[in-house]
Structure 1
């Protein structure tokens, strides 16, 4: 039986949406949604929140998670989150906490379902180093994504003269933050998600909202209340 630990990485500073990780969505702090998703998974034996914020730590503990205190040097808006992943794995290894599967559930994707996460866990096989999630893209780089210069001169991001209609173009997908699944040794031996063999699990766009700014939060709030109004 593989041992799976769940992680939520939530730093205190957010320029796009200050305080977003503990901002209430449906009356529940954002980070608590991720903690509850992890608690609903029978495969997960421990849940950790990595943070530099005492306020986030207090919310996490009240929700039933354990806390890894992240150094401020690993909590700036320019620090790759991969380094925070490595810090968490190394911290637990030093505590003789050995586990087989690393599951990251970002607080910014509160609309994921437990089934979405289960599919990600099941997708980690011997031929895969990292499982990510993706959703159908709303824009295609061959048709409606552009580069733009300061004076307004514009050109397509990707020009393919052999494809005239969007429906004939190869489908593209947005990488989402619903879940990440990998192994601790892969994190410690590499420097990023695409350092190894990556598999993606498709998630509907309505469950793949990634909250980064106020507009994202408003969308998430509207979808959350729509779903719970019709199911509650």
Structure 2
């Protein structure tokens, strides 16, 4: 009988922050943002170990208190400390650290951006099921959320706005849907050397795709997290 696949969750958490300083340690309803993100992975029901890759001692403590394994991120692999490493070099370092901890290679990895604190664990489970059902035909399932139509870009040459997929001769519902990538995926790590990078997309609600970035986002994050707590309490 084949062994069950080994699944890991991975969060990269920097100590500084380019939008809200020390955002990952910022407390929402009394808990650090990083802890909320770890909860999503731990509650998904199929992830064996959650890893947090960080150079920051406080975030490492938060990770351990929330039930994750803290891995040491080399300080020179953080860009605002002058690091110039590539994403591929990051991945090889992460892989080595996780495999050293596990004592073997893992089969699936669930990278989660720690800004995605409103994603539902059930959505990750659905993404994992989609990937398993693909039977080796899909390398990754990527979360996306729908964006409202009628969007415009500014022309930097003249300041004028021009529409993106917004045909004024159609009703809004008839325009092609727009999506944005959400910082969550499920990746079949056993296919990493096959050269097959086919992706399947899984749509989540705009609320689940909320990206906590700035101080202006704090009221929305508090509201969304409160709503989820009420829904979970009622279920």
Larger CA deviation: 219-228 vs 52-61: 219-228
TM-score (norm 2): 0.82
Does structure 2 conserve the Cα–Cα contact (< 8 Å) formed by 1:147 and 1:157? no
RMSD of equivalent CA atoms: 2.7
Q: Does 1:181 align with 2:181?
A: no
Which runs of no fewer than 5 residues in structure 2 stay unpaired? none
Does structure 2 conserve the Cα–Cα contact (< 8 Å) formed by 1:128 and 1:197? yes
Does structure 2 conserve the Cα–Cα contact (< 8 Å) formed by 1:86 and 1:188? no
Q: 1:89 aligns with which of 73, 92, 95?
A: 95
Q: CA 1:163–1:123 in 2, change beyond 3 Å: closer, same or farther?
A: farther
Q: What are the equivalent positions in structure 2 for 1:1-232 lying under 5 Å apart?
A: 1-76=4-79, 83-94=89-100, 96-124=103-131, 125=134, 126-138=136-148, 140=149, 143-149=150-156, 153-156=159-162, 158=164, 164-177=170-183, 179-184=184-189, 196-229=197-230, 232=233
- Rounded to whole Å, the distance in 2 between the matches of 1:79 and 1:220 is 32
TM-score (norm 1): 0.83
- Rounded to whole Å, the distance in 2 between the matches of 1:213 and 1:189 is 39
SS at match of 1:97: coil
Larger CA deviation: 88-97 vs 207-216: 88-97
Does structure 1 conserve the Cα–Cα contact (< 8 Å) formed by 2:46 and 2:125? no
TM-superposed CA distance for 1:187, in Å, is: 5.6
* 1:58-111 C-alpha deviation (Å, 9 max, x unpaired): 111111211111112222258776653442113234554311000112221111
Q: How many correspondences in the alignment?
A: 223
Give 4+ residue runs of structure 1 displaced > 6 Å after superposition.
159-162
Q: CA 1:4–1:69 in 2, change beyond 3 Å: closer, same or farther?
A: same
